A and B are shown apart, each in its own frame.
Chain A
Amino acid sequence: MTRPSAIVIGCSAGGLDALKIVLAGLHRQLSLPVLVCCHSGSATVDLLRELLARVSALPVTEAVERKPVCGGIVYLAPAGYHLLVEKTRHFALSADARVCHARPSIDVLFSSAAEVWRDGLIGVVLTGANADGAEGLLQLRRHGGCAIVQTPESATASAMPQAALDLAGADHCVSLDAIAPLLNQLCSTS
């Protein structure tokens, strides 16, 4: 894998607590964009953004369509829309049908990002009670990206990481606490 240029993270049930731990553990100097797809039943991600911003090492914002993807920022997929990335590295949104009963869907984000960043992409699948993310992680690995999956035993809901392991496998399968240090290490300049 070449030097990483972006990180995508997917989670569902139990995702808020897991995201807090991961985002709090990232280096402040991390210079690549972090794109997050978290399923929630809410009409907006305002609350999620606020709760994450309190602990995150990096600023947290909602992704806006047609805006450029910038490094050092955590972007959240808006509620009710799939988040995609254009080849020009701008965000795009879609209101197309749900994928794996979800919109935003982790599969859609991961697949789209994999085609843009190819072997420069790191994908992380965290806790969740469905199988979204597995297909996306498979696509990510096909394009040479690096797959990290939370160990199902350390997940609040094990179905999502387990489905990802079953379909795509992983370059690293580590406990929740170890994910941020691993990301820091993979992204370090040395």
Chain B
Amino acid sequence: MTTEDDDLEREDIELALFVQALQRRHGYDFSQYAQASLKRRVRQLVAQLHTGTISSLTGRVLHEPEVLPQLLEGLSVPVSDMFRDPAVFRVLREQVLPVLASYPRINIWQAGCAHGEEVYSLAILLDEAGLYERSHIFATDLSTNALQRAREGIYPAREAQQWSRNYQSAGGTRSLADYYSARYDLLKIDSRLRRNVTFAQHNLVSDKVFSETHLVLCRNVLIYFSSPLQNRCLDLFRDSLVRGGFLCLGLRESVDFAPAADDFAPLDADLRIYRRHSRPVEA
């Protein structure tokens, strides 16, 4: 056995102990996360916190509860862009919102909102469709640090150009700059887009459905989960959605292999936008 093989084996033990410590000490269960990405993120935390080894990081999990928010931030959903994958937001604008408009109240759940880029993208779509006043967006994430950032809605101004292009490709008719104010090298999202947004902590591993919704957005979150946890999430989304409600996943995610697949039909299969069947599927 080479030194590297030996190192890998030791690291696997360290990772398992780290996961166990997080769960037993703080109640956060990462055991059903896909291993390759989890290990990568834990290694990044080791580098970021200069602990040298995963074991030393585990020591901090056990003895320094104040480090928890930073750990959860490092282990949860990565940041996105405004109107990332513009084609998706175009279909939301052109095909999904007109259906949602038939409801007197519109509830939307974005699961894994990270820093909120897609929350505000949705808010802009709703605003431009004249639906914002009767809509509510529940933006949830595992990480309280991420939620705080999302709530602030402050982003590096260097993103503005790309985001504007995305907004235009997504069918935006105004200027994205109408929705933020720029100062120095930062841009701040207009606070009126936040009025009907609730940012709240929610753990897809252990928490339940909290509201009836008409659209669930959960993009690039499921790729980090093992199959059983993916299935749990899709069950959760189905149970939260009204009949005829919409589910929007990341471009390389799918409901196809999950038990809940039977409950959904694709609205746009390529863009991973699905619709919950409007009546129970006959056995």
Residues of A that sit less than 8 Å from B by CB: 43, 64-66, 78, 80-81, 84-87, 92-97, 108, 112, 115, 118-119, 142-144
Contacts and interface: CB of A to CB of B under 8 A. Distances in A.
B252 A94 contact: no
Given A81-B252, A92-B223, A95-B220, A86 B4 contact: no
Contacts of A115: 8
Q: Which 5 residue pairs spanning A and B have beta carbons closest together?
A: A95-B220, A84-B36, A93-B223, A92-B36, A94-B37
Contacts of A92: 34, 36-37, 223
A150 B2 CA distance: 28
A94 B223 contact: yes
A112 B41 contact: no
Given A65-B223, A92-B37, A143 B4 contact: yes
Nearest to A112: B36
B37 to A, nearest CB: 5
Contact of A86 (B34, B78, B85): B34
14 contacts: A65-B252, A66-B227, A80-B252, A81-B223, A85-B36, A92-B36, A92-B37, A94-B223, A95-B78, A95-B220, A95-B223, A96-B41, A112-B40, A143-B4
A53 B174 CA distance: 42
A80 B86 CA distance: 13
Contacts of A43: 85, 87
A118 B5 CA distance: 8
B4 A118 contact: yes
Interface size class of B (residues with CB under 8 A): 20 to 34
Interface of B: 2, 4-5, 8, 34-37, 40-41, 78-80, 85, 87, 220, 223-224, 227, 250-253, 257
B36 A97 contact: no
Contacts of B87: 43
Contact of A80 (B2, B227, B251): B251
Nearest to B43: A111
A183 B80 CA distance: 39
Nearest to A65: B223
Of the candidates A64, A78, A84, A144, the one having the most CB atoms from chain B within 10 angstroms of its own CB is A84
Nearest to A81: B252
A97 B79 contact: yes
B35 A142 contact: no
A97 B87 CA distance: 21
A143 B3 CA distance: 9
A81 B223 CA distance: 10
B35 A87 contact: yes
Contacts of B251: 78, 80
Contacts of A85: 36
A81 B80 CA distance: 12
A143 B220 CA distance: 30
Contacts of A108: 40
A148 to B, nearest CB: 20
